[in-house]
Chain A
């Protein structure tokens, strides 16, 4: 047992880092759920596919560059930025289109109906991506081309190192969260978004075009999801049309955990969930002598959700926007 204790301590920083990376990934995806919920009080279950669509656009850009032999020609930050931008644009526009086609006509309907529509869109998009990729590449699994500079590992301590791509995930997630914070809290558009979230009728009386603001919310949430998709692909390497489902579900959990409708809450929820998962997966079998293994990590994640829903139904940070109203 003594040796196992040493081991627990030794791997602690690395597990912490694993959890933080995963947490930021969840946070970026969770933003899409939480922003839409904040404005429309509706859960956009198609967001997991909007997220993976971004990953597919990103991989197509990288594979396209690779086929032309340009992947190593350009500096990697440029290549990555290009893939990120393309993924964000595609996912953002896709989210706007989904809202226009599948949700807006149902806006007056009972709440269950757009929810079912969202689940339908989710299935539709999964198989649409699969169809397009089968026709275009005759492939189901797509592999992100590896960029050597991103795979480089920086040594932090003797036993711990971190890859450049993991740092890129953390830095881009922080930058995007900061940009989002500025947009929502410091700009006129952000004020309009918050106004629509508080009271659609009143906002429209004040001269705000509610439909445009809702589209914009989907655009921003979708773009964040698309960026997360590209980062997901870069970090984990392999995607298929159904890869979005589980991370989407976890990110939704993270959004609820932090308080759905609340932007900082999505971030906190994502980090908490990522850490919980990483620690459960790495430590469970060490702590229980192999009786419980990594396969129980999801039970921990979802048990946390149930506990939060029982004891703090509004999430860790609560629903800031609503409470202000």
Chain B
């Protein structure tokens, strides 16, 4: 009986193998395949943002690959799930560099994942264009293959501090962060600038807690600061701010772009209306951004999450660079694409993007936004409280 089953399985496998072979041979026809990979968390607590990165890239690919397919190339997207974990990101990166057809990586969401993964890409000069990683180390390593289309934490943190000091005119701030590369990094940059601007930082706390913030909130309530700053991501910031408000903390709330997700108000409801966040993601007000939002909604049946538009822009830049390097009808090498990316000038919905010699945009826009509604559907209508265009700081030697 058991032997029969084994035979049956073998027979089934054989049938499957025969069925699959023609399909893969079909793909090899034409001049070759060009693949663009995405790496972002597609599962886990930050999947909403990670999914947006994947879908933004998918939309760009489908709308803009025409020039390459006309020349006989097959252009494909290969999404990877990095689970917001550095080890998973690096393991995926090793699979990505092994696939010779992959010419560009669009990713990641988390700086703590992007930094070790890009060490792997760099070994084979595989270019990475990040839609979302704001940690300064991403580009400050000076790798020729690593770029980003968004801003930096050492600017974003200070933008928040400047807004707190000059627009909100707060006198004291309580800083909490999530102890990750991203959250702690931006919180430290915020703290340094706030102190420079004369705002008193009454405490600087890190926590990995996800549910019970009571013991952290009690001292905040007792110290009664004008502002609470949280350096971290919405799945932790949401419950933290919600519990703080419920427990009677009256301070204003501010955080970085990790809070920029409609899931934040899904978690916090009306307790979070009025919260400020800084972001490098453009609000969807320009006509180009509006068209993107409409296309996105039509195709995927939901509103784009923050960084979906940056992912679209990053993918568009990648395609432009590939187009410029296709010579003699052959797919280009990774190193030539990497070099071409640095020469692209792209005018898109997030402004005109040109990379400097570290891979930062020559000029990036930063926005301070305020939550206006507890309805997650209306996240796109949050109010722009301040906008700044700032050049990336030069490399500190």
What 0/1 pattern do residues 211 to 228 of B give for CB contact below 8 A with A? 110111011011100000
Interface of A is mostly: helix
Q: Please tell me if A190 contacts chain B, counting CB pairs below 8 Å.
A: no
CA distance A134 to B292 in the complex (A): 27
| A15 to B221 alpha-carbon distance, docked (Å) | 11
* A11 interface hit (Cβ, 8 Å): yes
Whether B54 is near chain A, meaning CB under 8 Å from some CB there, is no
State which of A84-92, A105-113, A290-298, A305-313 sits at the interface with chain B. Answer: A290-298
Assuming the contacts A236-B211, A236-B212, A237-B242, asked whether A161 and B248 have C-beta atoms less than 8 A apart, the reply is: yes
The segment from B16-24, B117-125, B263-271 found at the interface with A is: B263-271
Q: Which stretch of A138-146, A173-181, A317-325 is in the interface?
A: A138-146
Interface range on chain B (Cβ under 8 Å from partner): 35 or more
Chain A: CB-nearest residue to B214: A18
Of listed A140, A238, A297, residue having the most chain B CB within 10 A: A238
A153 vs B249: C-alpha distance in the bound complex, in angstroms?
13
Are B248's CB and A281's CB within 8 A? no
User: When chains A and B are docked, how far (Å) is the Cα of A271 from the Cα of B163?
Assistant: 43
A200 at the interface (CB under 8 A from B): no
B208 within 8 Å of A by Cβ?
A: yes
Measured in the bound complex, the distance between the Cα atoms of B48 and A6 in whole Å is 44
* Interface size classification for chain A: 35 or more
CA distance A130 to B42 in the complex (A): 13
Contact of B219 (CB < 8 Å), options: A163, A238, A285 = A285
Kindly list chain A residues whose C-beta atoms are within 8 Å of the C-beta of B212: 22, 235-236
Say which residue of A10, A143, A151 sits within 8 Å of B267 (CB atoms).
A143
Chain A 1-44, CB within 8 Å of chain B: the 1/0 string?
00000010011001100110110000000000000000000000
Q: Which residues of A come within 8 Å of B, CB atoms? A: 7, 10-11, 14-15, 18-19, 21-22, 130, 140-141, 143, 146, 151, 153, 159, 161, 163, 232, 235-240, 243, 246-247, 277-282, 285-286, 290, 293-295, 297
User: Which residues of B approach A to under 8 Å, CB–CB?
Assistant: 43-45, 47-48, 179, 203-212, 214-216, 218-219, 221-223, 235, 238-239, 242-243, 246-248, 263, 266-267, 269
11 contacts between A and B (CB under 8 A): A11-B218, A130-B43, A140-B45, A143-B267, A232-B211, A238-B210, A277-B215, A281-B207, A286-B219, A295-B206, A295-B207
Known contacts A11-B219, A163-B247, then 15 further A-B pairs from the complex at CB < 8 Å, ordered by chain A residue:
A7-B223, A18-B218, A141-B45, A163-B246, A236-B239, A236-B243, A238-B235, A238-B239, A239-B211, A278-B214, A278-B215, A279-B215, A281-B215, A293-B205, A295-B208
